[in-house]
Structure 1
Amino acid sequence: MVNIGSPRNGWTVGADGGVDLRRAPAEPRVVTVAARPQTVTLDLTRCALVVVDMQNDFCHPDGWLASIGVDIAPARAPIEPLRRAVPWLRAAGTPVVWLNWGNRPDRANLPPGVLHVYDPQGRGAGIGAPAGPRGTPTLQQGSWSAAIVDELAPAPEDILVDKYRMSGFFDTPLDSVLRNLAVTTLLFAGVNSDQCVLSTLSDAACLGYDVVLLEDCAATTSPAYCHEAALYNIAQCFGFVTDSKLLIGG
């Protein structure tokens, strides 16, 4: 017998050359958690945790955001809840996907509208430009700036996906990766809750995934009302909002 594909989505080829298209069922890991607008029951083996933009340029004192005068304390708030939740979810059989800005050095796939967000005065700053005390290129693939903060170092089995827009689904392999993981429900965390997290979550809902935001694992450096509006719209229009402590029981 030869396995073709991933353990979560693979075929078996027998010695006689016959192909078995059945996927081996995973033993369900069921939890029920209080959420808004309704209590939800999840099979953690059919979930994936998508952690958005917990990277140095947004969450480290030497990163780009801090270098332009933004208070990054809110962006660091999800670190401790994630340090508790991520190992628990891994142990439950839930894949962990780290979704970060990681742009091409030549920025060839970025239109003016995206570049303008990070360089509104057109001064040659923003994406790809050196920033902060370390002078590393802002949000550039492979740089310290784009790396996940040390406190949340990924495990070898985790999956890293680079993104180039507010939504992690546009121009990336994220949807293919998630479908190959055979997941139907996405747990969301990261920053900013009202920007990249919300954009990716809403696209996920439009693509047919069930979506759940872990509120204590998500934050924004925007004004507080932006975060509250994101929570309202997620629970009202797209899916559910809960807390990681309710999920993991502590």
Structure 2
Amino acid sequence: MSSTREPFEPLASFGATHNAWVGNSQHVSLLRQTPVAQPLHLQAEPATLEIDLARSALVIVDMQNDFCHPQGWFAQRGFDISAARRPINTLSALLPPWRAAGGRVLWLNWGIRADRANLPPGVLYKGKAGKASNTGYGEVSPEDHGAALVRGSWGAARIDELTAAEADICVDKHRLSGFYDSELDGVLRAQGITSLLFAGINTDRCVFSTLQDAGFLGYDCLLLRDACDTPSPPYVSDSIHFLVRLLHGFITDSAALHAALSARSDSPSHAQP
């Protein structure tokens, strides 16, 4: 009696690199990759940190035309957008070395439905500051660039000064917290990301709301102090920094992150041949 040997079936990877199964129809390994041999060592408060870059994402919040552009929704409402623009240079300098070291970037932006069907009265009221004459969410400013913060519109788009890479992830939100009623948690878990570094605007609003929810869901939270800003008085940011250090995670800054990335790239195990 002769037997026929089954042809070899190559192994394939299913899922994000650091959260993937490897296998074929006969055998599947559910073992995830172990942490990197050399973590990123980062100065932070209230303690120094070790970070696995492969499981980390830089979450950049709301750096969008309607908030940051001189012709955007906020500027046309008469708001001072200088605080919204202050993180731009810090992030522009930080993104290349962060990506080069293997860190992921996630753009978390307002992107509401055009019909505003899932925005409750309280959100709509605050969006217009309680005045019917003000331009609110999904409405058009006098200098028409489209409906404010509607998904796919000019106003909801990332500002031109900050460039996205092909591997970056983009997630839309429609509340201060990026985790509320969105796909953010599912995307992060599918990618095997456990540590989040927060940047963008505003420190005391969307950034802090999202950071709090991230901590409640079990993510490691780091706030990049100088890569965030807000038009609120300084004592408000001081309070946020206090609460992050005390309850939600860690505070660091771009200088510390640059230093950690530089030290890691200069180490023998990461030297180029």
- When the two structures are superposed, what TM-score results if normalisation uses the length of structure 1? 0.94
Which residue matches 1:33? 42
- Partner secondary structure for residue 84 of structure 2: helix
Structure 2 equivalent of residue 167 of structure 1 = 177
| Contact map agreement 1:31 1:247 (CA 8 A) in 2 | no
1:219 and 2:200 matched: no
Q: Distance in 1 between matches of 2:115 and 2:240?
A: 33
Counterpart position of 1:77: 86
The equivalent of 1:47 in structure 2 is 56
Corresponding residue of 1:9:
19
- Map 1:171-190 to 2 at 5 A: 171-190=181-200
Match status 1:152 vs 2:162: yes
2:67 corresponds to 1:61: no
Q: CA deviation at 1:45?
A: 1.8
Check the 8 A contact 1:29/1:92 in 2, yes or no.
no
Residue 132 of structure 1: how far off its partner (Å): 5.5
Q: Which runs of 5+ in 2 are unaligned?
A: 1-10, 263-273
Count of residues paired in the alignment: 249
Match of 2:139 among 120, 129, 132: 129
Distance in 1 (CA, whole Å) between partners of 2:42 and 2:15 is 33
Which residue number in structure 2 is paired with residue 108 of structure 1? 117
Contact 1:37 / 1:240 at 8 angstroms: preserved in 2? yes
Which amino acid is 2:121 matched to? Answer: P
Separation (CA, whole Å) in 2 of partners of 1:75 and 1:34: 26
Of the two, which has the highest radius of gyration?
2
AA aligned opposite 1:140: V
Instruction: Output the amino acid matched with 2:113.
Output: R
Residues 174 and 67 of structure 1: CA distance in aligned 2, closer, same or farther (over 3 Å)? same
**Could you give the per-residue CA deviations for residues 124-178 of structure 1, whole angstroms, max 9, x where no partner exists?**
7210111263432111100010000001121111000000100000010101111
Query: One-letter code of the match for 2:84?
Result: A
Aligned to 1:210: 220
Residue 63 of structure 2: SS of its match in structure 1? coil
Hey, what does 1:193 align to over in structure 2? Answer: 203
Task: Map Cα deviations across residues 48-89 of structure 1 (whole Å, 9 max, x no partner).
Answer: 111100111111111111111111111111011111111211
Distance 2:116 2:37 in 1: 43
**1:95 matched to 2:100:** no
Scaled by the length of structure 2, what TM-score is found? Answer: 0.86
